[in-house]
């Protein structure tokens, strides 16, 4: 079986590999009657994982933590790839693909690079089918979401293979490529961290200690999302339920809205979208 090869061993590669390893850990629990030493499980469930990065110390760290194969030589890494995941930053993609040259045995290439369109990827590395994928570091816990945009005409078996890979680390949704950049700026777990930091900081300004501020803020945000996911009610109905007219929550929300809460979020996303379009011009 050909390997799953990552070019770039940074943050998102580490999160995806951790998530894949977690799935393998769960397999041990799902089938307790099969007593397999943990180290053998990866060979049964996912193809061999190989990572190439220009920083040998990052590779050694990945090998130590996740028992992946590492390959210091780019061409040797590519030669082993069935699925080839491009996980370098957008400004490095063109140069990297230029060095690789047409891969002879890679079945499918998957780019994680924000903003770089399929037509550019195809131009920079022809002769291999392309997929764009946008996962998040939540893949580390098997709880993420990955959007996929397939090159037109990509055979169904390849679409399934790529979908299956990302389903191991969370939900998967197929998106038309023209929506991909809007998804990219909307789906970042940084929004959760950012909102948590802002709410907790405001609570501290009102006199809560840091621990209580974080706990209250985390519950406010997370409980709202859980309720929305689990309830049959619409978001509007939930908002009405949580905010008595003229009450405290309603007053807080009204003040925030009048201060431009919605507008500042949209403005942030628009700036992010502009940035993804700049990546496309590289
Ligand atoms: N982080 C996320 O949450 C996330 C989510 C979805 C998609 N993505 C996408 O995934 C890609 C990687 O993001 P990241 O956050 O993981 O970046 P990162 O932490 O900077 O990792 C990229 C790694 O690739 C290495 N690299 C760069 N050019 C290389 C080359 N020519 N040959 C070998 N190694 C090379 C980098 O080395 P140096 O440090 O020496 O440059 C670095 O170790 C980006 O395109 C990003 O848009 C990221």
Q: Is 212 helix (H, G, I), strand (E, B) or coil?
A: helix
CB-count burial class (<10 Å; 0-12, 13-18, 19+) for 227: middle
Fold match flag (3-186 vs 190-280): no
- The CATH H-level (homologous superfamily) assignment of domain 190-280 is ProC C-terminal domain-like (1.10.3730.10)
Distance separating alpha carbons of residues 17 and 14, to the nearest angstrom? 5
Question: 207 alpha carbon to ligand 1 midpoint, in Å?
Answer: 40
Fold of 3-186: Rossmann fold (3.40.50)
Question: 89 alpha carbon to ligand 1 midpoint, in Å?
Answer: 4
Q: Where are the domains of the chain?
A: 3-186, 190-280
Q: Whose CA is nearest to atom 46 of ligand 1?
A: 113
166-197 per-position pLDDT tens digit:
999 999 999 999 999 999 999 999 999 999 99
Residue at token pair 């924000």: 114
Q: Whose CA is nearest to atom 27 of ligand 1?
A: 88
Question: Which of 18, 86, 88 has most ligand 1 atoms within 8 Å of CB, for mutation?
Answer: 88
Which of 61-65, 93-97, 103-107, 115-119 is predicted with the least confidence, judged by mean pLDDT?
A: 103-107
* End-to-end CA separation in angstroms for the chain: 35
- Any ligand 1 atom below 6 A from CB of 169: no
66-87 per-position pLDDT tens digit:
999 999 999 999 999 999 999 9
Q: Which atom belonging to ligand 1 lies closest to the Cα atom of 113?
A: 45
98-153 per-position pLDDT tens digit:
999 888 887 899 999 999 999 999 999 999 999 999 999 999 999 899 999 999 99
pTM of the model: 0.90
Distance separating alpha carbons of residues 73 and 76, to the nearest angstrom? 5
Q: What's residue 105's pLDDT?
A: 81
In the predicted structure, residue 32 carries a pLDDT above the cut 50: no
In the predicted structure, residue 282 carries a pLDDT above the cut 50: yes
* Sheet bearing 108-111, strands edge to edge: 69-70, 49-52, 3-7, 81-86, 108-111, 130-134, 144-150, 170-174
Stronger pLDDT, 41 or 159, i.e. the higher one: 159
- Any ligand 1 atom below 6 A from CB of 89: yes
- Any ligand 1 atom below 6 A from CB of 87: yes
Q: Whose CA is nearest to atom 19 of ligand 1?
A: 10
Q: What's residue 231's pLDDT?
A: 87
- Any ligand 1 atom below 6 A from CB of 54: yes
């Amino acid at each position: 079986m050909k390997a799953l090869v990552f070019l770039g061993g940074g943050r998102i590669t580490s999160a995806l590999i951790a998530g894949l390893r977690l799935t393998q850990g769960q397999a041990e629990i799902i089938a307790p009657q099969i007593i397999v030493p943990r180290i053998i499980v990866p060979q049964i469930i996912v193809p061999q994982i190989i990572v190439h990065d220009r920083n040998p110390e990052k590779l050694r760290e990945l090998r130590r933590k996740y028992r992946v194969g590492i390959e210091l030589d780019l061409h040797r890494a590519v030669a082993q790839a069935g699925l080839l995941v491009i996980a370098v930053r957008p400004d490095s993609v063109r140069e990297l693909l230029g060095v690789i040259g047409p891969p002879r045995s890679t079945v499918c290439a998957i780019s994680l690079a924000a903003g770089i369109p399929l037509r550019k990827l195809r131009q920079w590395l022809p002769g291999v089918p392309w997929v764009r994928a946008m996962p998040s570091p939540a893949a580390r816990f098997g709880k993420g979401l990955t959007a996929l945009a397939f090159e037109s005409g990509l055979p169904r078996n390849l679409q399934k293979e790529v979908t299956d890979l990302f389903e191991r680390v969370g939900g998967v949704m197929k998106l038309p490529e023209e929506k991909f950049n809007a998804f990219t700026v909307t789906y970042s777990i940084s929004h959760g961290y950012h909102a948590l930091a802002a709410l907790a900081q405001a609570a501290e300004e009102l006199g809560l200690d840091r621990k209580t501020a974080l706990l209250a803020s985390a519950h406010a945000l997370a409980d709202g999302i859980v309720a929305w996911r689990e309830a049959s009610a619409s978001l509007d109905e939930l908002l009405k339920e949580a905010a008595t007219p003229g009450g405290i929550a309603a007053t807080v929300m009204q003040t925030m809205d009048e201060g431009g809460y919605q507008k500042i979020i949209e403005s942030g996303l628009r700036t992010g979208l502009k940035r993804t379009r700049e990546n496309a011009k590289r």
